[in-house]
């Protein structure tokens, strides 16, 4: 059983309700190894929560007649859950509203560097590769900046219209 404490608690009692399925308070107390009075308290809590129900039948044992209790399984859940696209995806201009999830990161470790430097001329190749990467990143950033400026600039037809009004 996956219980850590030495004293039984309500979670353990629920596990026993499910395991026993049909039981009396004495059965629960004997199986859990607890005092019958504590078993009665667990049963009262289980009845209150709707986990178990009293069958209405009574059984005569060694002592006074006892009620028989049954475990009530959970109702079946839905087979399909409705899914909706996020709000930012259904509105016009959705990509401006999209949450930023992070950027690609280039990670260079010492292990990679040592592996690259194992042959003659490889240090030079590695430096050239790094320079090419930085040139590429710079060109990409410049292109993004050009696109941003172009988007911020009013269209030609609007500029011509404004010139005609003057």
Domain of 40, CATH number, reads: 1.10.10.10
* Range from 31-35, 48-52, 67-71, 122-126 carrying the lowest mean pLDDT: 122-126
pTM, full prediction? 0.44
Question: 163 lies in a domain?
Answer: yes
Mean pLDDT (whole number) for 18-37: 92
Range of the domain at 19: 10-71
Integer Cα distance of 44 and 32 in angstroms: 16
Does residue 95 sit within a domain? no
| Residue 80 φ/ψ region, left for φ over 0, alpha for ψ in the -120 to 50 degree band, beta for the rest | beta
Residue 132 lies in a domain: yes
Whether 65 has a pLDDT exceeding 60, the answer reads yes
Domain count across the chain: 2
Amino acid 69: pLDDT: 95
């Amino acid at each position: 059983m996956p219980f850590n404490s030495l004293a039984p608690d309500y979670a353990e009692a629920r596990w026993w309700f499910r395991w026993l399925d049909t039981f009396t308070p004495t059965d629960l107390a004997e199986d859990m190894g607890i005092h019958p009075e504590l078993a009665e308290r667990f049963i009262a809590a289980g009845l209150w929560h709707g986990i178990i129900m009293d069958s209405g039948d009574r059984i005569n044992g060694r002592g006074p007649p006892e009620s028989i209790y049954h475990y009530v399984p959970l109702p079946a859940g839905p087979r399909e859950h409705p899914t909706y696209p996020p709000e930012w995806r259904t509105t016009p201009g959705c990509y401006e509203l999209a949450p930023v999830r992070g950027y690609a990161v280039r990670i260079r470790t010492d292990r990679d560097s040592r592996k690259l430097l194992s042959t003659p001329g490889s240090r030079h190749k590695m430096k050239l590769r790094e320079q090419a990467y930085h040139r590429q990143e710079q060109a990409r950033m410049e292109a993004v900046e050009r696109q941003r400026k172009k988007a911020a600039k009013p269209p030609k037809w609007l500029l011509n219209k404004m010139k005609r009004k003057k």
